[in-house]
């Protein structure tokens, strides 16, 4: 896939920084945007802060907020212009309460990962290799 935008949704600044650092170390060629919560993310997808072209990929930990993550993903799946976005759920939560709901929304992957810097790079590296073998449509 060519250069695309990736939107990371997480309210923990330290983790966003860790992921950003990992993207840089692994030389991920895609542009990383981040939103601190679902409302902020929505405004970047379909509101005043809209990213153009629309991100091809969303990375989110849906176990951080009660049901907000699932509501956010449901809204994406019901939106004509957003429903095709690839969603990767990454979580360090031990409870998988939202896993089935997320899989029913056809996320591309539900991934348990540790956000420590020494273990993050191998995870991001596998994801990046995968992003590099898949094709995206050129629209939007």
Q: Which residues bind other proteins (CB under 8 A)?
A: 77, 83-84, 86, 96, 99, 103-106, 108-112, 123, 126-127, 129-130, 132-139
Q: Which CB, 49 or 81, lies closer to other proteins?
A: 81
Six-digit token string for 17: 């920084």
**Inter-CA distances, 29 with 1, 15, 32, 54, Å:** 10, 20, 9, 16
* Contact call for residues 122 and 129 (beta carbons, < 8 A): no
Residue linked to tokens 């990454």: 90
Q: How far is the CB of 63 from other proteins (least distance, A)?
A: 12
Q: How far is the CB of 36 from other proteins (least distance, A)?
A: 25
Dihedral, CA of residue 93, residue 21, residue 35 and residue 102, to nearest 10: -40
Q: Which CB, 15 or 82, lies closer to other proteins?
A: 82
Q: How far is the CB of 68 from other proteins (least distance, A)?
A: 21
Q: How long, in residues, is the chain?
A: 140
Q: How far is the CB of 82 from other proteins (least distance, A)?
A: 11
Q: Which CB, 41 or 102, lies closer to other proteins?
A: 102
Using a 10 angstrom Cβ sphere, with 0-12 exposed, 13-18 middle and 19 or more buried, the burial of residue 37 is middle
Report CA torsion sign: 29, 119, 110, 95: negative
Q: Which CB, 13 or 126, lies closer to other proteins?
A: 126
Q: Which CB, 39 or 104, lies closer to other proteins?
A: 104
Q: How far is the CB of 48 from other proteins (least distance, A)?
A: 26
């Amino acid at each position: 896939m060519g250069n695309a935008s990736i939107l990371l949704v997480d309210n923990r600044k330290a983790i966003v920084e860790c992921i950003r650092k990992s993207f840089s170390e692994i030389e991920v060629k895609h542009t990383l945007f981040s939103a601190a919560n679902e409302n902020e993310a929505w405004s970047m997808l379909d509101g005043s802060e809209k990213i153009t072209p629309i991100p091809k990929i969303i990375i989110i930990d849906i176990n951080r907020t009660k049901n907000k993550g699932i509501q956010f993903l449901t809204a994406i799946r019901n939106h004509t212009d957003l429903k095709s976005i690839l969603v990767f759920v990454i979580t360090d939560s031990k409870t998988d309460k939202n896993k089935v709901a997320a899989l029913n929304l056809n996320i591309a992957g539900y991934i348990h990962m540790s956000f420590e810097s020494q273990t993050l790079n191998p995870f991001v590296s596998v994801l990046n290799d995968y992003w590099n073998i898949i094709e995206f449509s050129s629209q939007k």
